[in-house]
Amino acid sequence: MTGKTKEYWIEKLGLQPHPKEEKGFFRETYRDEYTVTGRTGEERAASTVIYFLHDHDVLTENTTFFKVKHTEMIHHYHGSPLTLYYIDEKERKLNVVKLGEEEFHFPFPKDTWFTRVCEVDGGYSLIGCTVSPGFDFKDLVTTPFKELKSLFDS
């Protein structure tokens, strides 16, 4: 990793604090002008892309998990590895994927509970998220990790 700090990326990319996450910064960089019909019949952008910077954090009972209506592709760009957690409700399993070591992108399937955590002490992870059809905050559902434990076997 180069000597660039998280502050460097926040300033360079014009990132703002994320409204649903305490330790994250983001900026939407692309919203397709082409529209498509979403899963519930609404018109929306064909795709959207954001930068997201995760500050150091650990998975706890209160970690926010997310669910969106469409597939979200995560791309690792720079910094520390990012740990992805997602719940496979059919298999009743909490899955873990590490980005930034040997894998550099991962798609969270639609309607899947997931979170992203930079677990490297003092680290940060700069990623991108592509959603297609495009993201809309009204599609976003959040809940703390402790509320989801019944969905998988420990």
65-82 pLDDT, tens digit per residue, is 999 989 999 999 999 999
Residues 116-128: pLDDT tens digits? Answer: 999 999 999 999 9
Mean pLDDT, residues 15-37? 90
In this structure, what CATH number is given to the domain that contains residue 146? 2.60.120.10
* Residue 98 covered by a domain: yes
Residue type, 93: K
Burial 92-118 (b: 16+ CB within 10 A, else e): eebeeeebbeeeeebebeeebbbbbbb
pTM (predicted TM-score): 0.91
Domain that holds residue 105: 6-151
Evaluate whether residue 18 is within a structural domain.
yes
Q: Give the pLDDT confidence of 83-95 residue by residue, as tens digits.
A: 999 999 999 999 9
Residue 105 lies in a domain: yes
The number of distinct structural domains making up the chain is 1
Residue with the bigger pLDDT between 24 and 15: it is 15
1 in any annotated domain: no
